[in-house]
Amino acid sequence: PYDVLVVGGGPAGASAAIYAARKGIRTGIVAERFGGQIMDTLGIENFISVKYTEGPKLAASLEEHVKHYDVDVINVQRAKRLEKKDFIEVELENGAVLKGKTVILSTGARWRNIGVPGEAEFKNKGVAYCPHCDGPLFEGKDVAVIGGGNSGIEAAIDLAGIVKHVTVLEFAPELKADSVLQDRLYSLPNVTVIKNAQTKEITGTDKVNGISYVDRETGEEHHIELQGVFVQIGLVPNTDWLEGTLERTRFGEIIVDKHGATSIPGVFAAGDCTDSAYKQIIISMGSGATAALGAFDYLIRN
Ligand code: FAD
């Protein structure tokens, strides 16, 4: 078995693997997609000590740093089951079973779906989640961004530089994004913000041709013609596969203590899949280090 088996290869998992390997213990890391969410991120300006970098570049350095140590990297494999027997077993979708004396879960999070008619139907046919990946596809077109939090407003600002016009639909009476982002947004000429807007349907034929929403103040339904919809309403932790095994919050986040320990002895967790207060690269890396040190502490005591 591995001394430390890390599940998830984003910033949290990479950090955990490096901290574990540096203790000279047998370390493995299994990931569905090495790099995680930063693979979908363009500009990163808040990774302290690096003024500016780009996600894929940071992901490549993470992988290089991990591979600098004696770590088994198992990429493009998804874990589907965790069970504590003599060791902690992690079964992969390909049927293989990996064993660890300790396991660190760092499976991150993914974009939340809005769940209205048309969303699933027109995914990749006008419905998108990653402005950095799909923004250029909508050059010169009209798009909507659903969600007025930080990610929604960042997306709207980003898209406004590429597309013809951006309509932001926010369910609440106010945008929730940081005021610096809102100021930036309102300084742009090709953005409209509609608050109190409940998205009803994403319309289209073979691809998206519009969006319907209800004005929550008047109850009136409106339809806007456009070619793209970016859904930016938050993140869901990738922890469905752990249902019934360890304690999670009602949002599905794995509950950890200050050592990164979960409710199963020997199983630790780090990053966006946990109930940590903020979901950021530097925070997930810090918690990856915490979980690895927590796992090491557990190993020397058991
Ligand atoms: P993730 O990055 O989500 O990585 C999860 C890993 O687990 C991946 O390797 C994934 O493939 C793997 N995985 C998931 N499920 C399984 C499974 N069942 N089996 C095996 N592997 C699995 N943060 C900042 O600090 N600054 C920014 O500017 C910034 N911009 C962002 C822009 C975008 C578009 C997005 C999406 C996020 C941004 N973030 C930013 C947030 C930041 O990317 C995340 O906080 C960070 O990536 C979390 O790291 P993580 O390792 O916890 O999870």
Determine, yes or no, domain membership for 118.
no
b/e per residue 91-112 (b: at least 16 CB within 10 A): ebeeeeebebbbbbbbbbbebe
> What tens digit of pLDDT does each residue of 66-113 get?
999 999 999 999 999 999 999 999 999 999 999 999 999 999 999 899
**How far out from the chain centre does Cα 187 lie?**
28
Last residue of a domain, one of 231, 252, 287: 231
Q: Give residue 36's pLDDT.
A: 95
8 A C-beta contact, residue 191 and residue 156: yes
Binding site members: 3-18, 142-156, 262-272
What residue type is assigned to position 220 of the chain? E
Domain count, the chain: 2
| ipTM of the prediction greater than 0.95, yes or no | yes
Closest Cα partner for 164 from 184, 193, 200, 188?
188
Determine, yes or no, domain membership for 122.
no
pTM here is 0.81
Segment (H or E) for 154: helix 150-160
**CA of residue 36 to ligand 1 center, whole Å:** 4
Q: Give residue 42's pLDDT.
A: 65
Determine, yes or no, domain membership for 216.
yes
Q: Which domain holds residue 179?
A: 127-231
Determine, yes or no, domain membership for 144.
yes
Query: Residue 139: pLDDT band by 50, 70, 90 thresholds?
Result: very high
Determine, yes or no, domain membership for 36.
yes
Determine, yes or no, domain membership for 91.
yes
Known catalytic membership, residue 130 = yes
Q: Is 44's C-beta closer than 6 angstroms to any atom of ligand 1?
A: yes
- Claim to verify: residue 94 and residue 239 sit in the same structural domain: yes
Report the C-alpha gap between 35 and 280 in whole angstroms: 14
> What tens digit of pLDDT does each residue of 226-259 get?
999 999 998 899 999 999 999 999 989 999 999 9
Last residue of a domain, one of 231, 258, 281: 231
Percent of the chain with pLDDT over 70: 99
- Claim to verify: residue 197 and residue 226 sit in the same structural domain: yes
- Claim to verify: residue 47 and residue 195 sit in the same structural domain: no
Percent of the chain with pLDDT over 90: 88
Position 297 pLDDT exceeds 80: yes
- Any idea what the CATH number is for the domain that residue 17 is in? 3.50.50.60
- Claim to verify: residue 17 and residue 105 sit in the same structural domain: yes
Binding site members for NAD(+): 142-156
Last residue of a domain, one of 184, 211, 231: 231
- More confidently predicted of 151 and 181: 181
